Amino acid sequence: MFRRMLPAAGLLAALAAPAGAQTQLTIQHPLPLNSHYGAGASALKEAFERASSNRFRVNIQRNDNEREAIESVQIGTIECSITSTGPVGNFVPETRVLDVPFLFRDTAHARGVLDTEIGQGLLGRFQPRGLAGVVWMENGFRHLTNSRREVNMPADVRGMKVRTMENQVHMRAFTALGALPTPMAFSELVPALQQGTVDGQENPIPVIVANNLNQVQRFLTLTGHVYSPAILICNPAFLARMSAADRAAFTEAARAGAAANRARVTAEEQSGVEELRRRGMTVVTQVDNAAFQAALAPSAQQIEQQLDAALLRRIREWRQ
Ligand code: EAX
């Protein structure tokens, strides 16, 4: 009865998309909304909702356990996640090449590699693992913080309990420096620092700022020991259900998200050190990077023998 009363055009529209139907898309990421990940997720949301005339609704949620979020994307209980590569190597081992200390000379080198065929090739390695690698985002260069002492030289790290990500490459590097690496999820980091389970941790400036790690760490040393990529991953079945046009719009929105995320990292890497000083941290800015690199050299071979040597060489030799 009621259906017959609908005008024909309205009925067609109702059949194509039940009234008010909206596809929900959840993106989880660690860190507060007001962070470089939040900036990326928000820009994506805005671009994709606009491009799809609100047929898609993007929900942004915080989840500080990156491994858990990746598993949820695999299972499909959430659609997408922005994560550092920390736990990603346990799912897609090929990405571990990116976690090698002192691999990238600077931000331009890292972004260049990720945006051209090497990075695009690595995105393709997610599919066989039940994940879709959509776009590379960024976390920034990682620096060491601790609550014990001013770290100037590699020897100062000896015996220090340092939280690392759940990442074999990072753990090996900190073992080589003589630290006691303690891998744990990001969600466990602040309690572990508060309780003194670990003395230190390492993260990029934007993470230290967004997560107020200055409240639990006194000393910051600008080691820049490794570039920390981030990635937007999505559930492959979810992407496959989209029309080709929607998928193209989503990819474009994801690129806008990556641009916003990187712009924010650049800004915070510039302003963040001053901000952390203002919040009371003691910052060591003059760091002998060569000394840290030399301390890691004997272990580099051990770290790299399990990685794709040819790919590592291509990354090192990459020039714009
Ligand atoms: O992705 O686990 C970490 O230290 C990461 O850098 C952080 O969650 C941001």
Residue 4 has pLDDT above 50, yes or no: no
Domain ranges of the chain: 21-315
CB atoms within 10 A of CB 143: 26
Residue 301 has pLDDT above 90, yes or no: no
Write out pLDDT tens, residues 239-295: 999 999 999 999 999 999 999 999 999 999 999 999 999 999 999 999 999 999 999
**How far does residue 83's CA lie from ligand 1's centre (Å)?**
8
Ligand 1 pocket at CB < 6 A: 30, 66, 84, 86, 139, 165, 186, 203, 207, 228
Buried b (16+ CB within 10 A) or exposed e, 146-159: bbeeebeebebbee
Q: Is the dihedral of CA 291, 285, 231, 190 positive or negative?
A: positive
Give me the mean pLDDT over the 113-121 stretch. Answer: 97
CATH superfamily of the 21-315 domain:
Bacterial extracellular solute-binding protein, family 7 (3.40.190.170)
**How far does residue 51's CA lie from ligand 1's centre (Å)?**
30
Residue 43 has pLDDT above 60, yes or no: yes
Q: The whole model's pTM is what?
A: 0.93
CB atoms within 10 A of CB 76: 13
User: Which among 65, 182, 203 is the best mutation to test ligand 1's pocket, defined by most ligand atoms within 8 Å of the CB?
Assistant: 203
Buried b (16+ CB within 10 A) or exposed e, 82-115: bbbbbbbbebbebbbbbbbbbbbeebebbbbbbe
Write out pLDDT tens, residues 135-160: 999 999 999 999 999 999 999 999 99
